Amino acid sequence: MQDTLSALLSLPEQELKIRGLIDTPREIHQQPDTWHSTLRRLTAIHTTIHDFLDACDLTPDSSTPPEVILIGAGTSDYIGRAVSRILRQQWRCGVTVVPSTELLTNMDDFILPGKRYVFLSFSRSGESSEGVAVLEQALERFAQQVRHIVITCSESSTMAKFPGVFAIILDDAVNDRGLAMTSSFSNMVIAGQYLAFSHTRESYRPLLQELAAMGTALLPQAANTAAALAQKGFPRMCFLGTGALQAVAEESALKVLELNGGRIATIAQTPLGLRHGPMSFVNDQTLVVAFLSGGEYRQRYELDLLEEIQRKDLGADMLLVAPHLTRRVGKLTKNILSLDAPHAFPDSCRPPVDVIAGQLLGLFFAIENGITPDTPSNGAISRVVSHVNIYSPAETGRRSNA
């Protein structure tokens, strides 16, 4: 029997066009295949990547590595959050995530005199106003302190062409044409994970293969579950995740919000953090979505919270994405997406596959709400944020002193 996502993709092209489904369903569906392509693309330039990281002193045995700052806006910020832990573990250095929307206005708060940094910027288009401005100002003001890596899906972009910037260009196939980033998110996460394993790259290949296998298996069951939940018309969703999976919760909340034109209220939290005020968001109209950890220690906290929600009769329903189906997990809800993950598969590698569930919720709720997923916005947001006025810190200082 054909799953709901495949059924969408098999509709006549004219119907897909009218319903705004030309790009987004295809871009979600293509992800596991494109992960293999991204790995091949990065492997082909491995020596260049390795040499640049060595020149930055980003080696596991370095005694004085630079601090790494991961930069992006919106979904691209969540990419940084999704890979920050694995970069810290593998590179053995300080890794901080700072949105370009904050770094642009507060760069002096983060760049300390006499310290060395590597800015790793993520940008689908390479044309984000804030991303471009951060590079310009850092190159102008901190050229001796900061080295730059840009991961983008657009070879011709401004950010990719800056002199002195090491650009990693992903395939144009993952430069999503739909408004919401889907395959560009997961493939830039894959690229970030590859960089983390740059000095032990052969250990990453089997992890990528397992990710792709889990993603391929997840797509049909997640699509059917998302379509069924969409028919219930929940107006609120609460997304939960721990560690790297918190970034998945944040990105999923954004996908549902974007693809539904703001008609569904969303929140993202850690399971432990939800009790400290945000639990007031969860009412009898809320779908609670949890990305469960593989580690027993973390999962105990997560299940305690979900069982508390159930005891208090909060939330209308639950959807759980779990590495495995256990008896305790099975008692919470019938809506369980089991990844059947390999034993001890690291949570820090899971964001590309887990986020598929959030993407599909956004897609099928948009369809149910009569929204065109490729162009869901009424003009409030755009595919590329490239219209922000940019000011020079030096000029602003002169003007205020005049």
- The whole-angstrom distance between residue 387's C-alpha and the CA centroid of its chain comes to 23
Enter the CATH code of domain 210-384. Answer: 3.40.50.10490
Residue 187 CB-density burial (10 A; 0-12 exposed, 13-18 middle, 19+ buried): buried
> Which fold does the domain 45-203 belong to in CATH?
Rossmann fold (3.40.50)
| pLDDT over threshold 90, residue 61 | no
Task: Band the pLDDT of 389: cuts 50, 70, 90.
Answer: confident
Beta-carbon contacts of 69 under 8 Å, excluding residues fewer than 6 positions away, are 95, 96, 97, 98, 103, 110, 117, 118, 119, 120
| 32 touches 219 (CB < 8 A) | yes
Q: Which helix (H) or strand (E) holds 235?
A: none
Q: What is the pLDDT of residue 2?
A: 81
Q: What is the pLDDT of residues 73-91, one digit of tens each?
A: 999 999 999 999 999 999 9
Residue 400 pLDDT greater than 60, yes or no = no
Angle between helices 100-110 and 129-141 (to 10 degrees): 20
How far separated are the first and last CA of the chain, in Å rounded? 72
Q: What is the pLDDT of residue 384?
A: 66
Percent of residues, the chain, with pLDDT higher than 90: 91
Closest CA to 165 of 310, 307, 52: 52
Q: What are the residue ranges of CATH 3.40.50.10490 in the chain?
A: 45-203, 210-384
Strand partners, 169: 152
Environment class of residue 381 by beta-carbon count within 10 Å: exposed (0-12), middle (13-18) or buried (19+)? middle
Could you tell me how many helices (H) and strands (E) the chain has, helices first? 16, 10
Q: Is the pLDDT of residue 327 over 90?
A: yes
pLDDT (average), residues 124-131 = 94
pLDDT of amino acid 396: 61
Out of 80-89, 125-134, 278-287, 388-397, least confident range: 388-397
Residue 402 has pLDDT above 50, yes or no: no
How do residues 171-180 score in pLDDT, each as one tens digit? 999 999 999 9
Which pLDDT belongs to residue 388? 76
Q: Which residues contact 112 (CB under 8 A, 6 or more apart)?
A: none
Res 48 pLDDT > 50: yes
What region, left, alpha or beta, does residue 34 occupy, with left being phi > 0 and alpha being psi -120 to 50 degrees? alpha
What is the SS3 assignment for 397? helix
Measured distance CA(66)–CA(270) in Å, rounded: 29
Lowest model confidence (mean pLDDT) among 22-26, 200-204, 223-227, 390-394:
390-394
**Cβ count within 10 A of residue 387:** 7
Average pLDDT, integer, range 285-303? 97
- pLDDT tens sequence across 193-233: 999 999 998 999 999 999 999 999 999 999 999 999 999 99
Helix locations, 317-401, DSSP H: 327-330, 351-368, 393-401
Average pLDDT score over the chain:
94
pLDDT of 121 higher than 60: yes
pLDDT (average), residues 379-393: 69
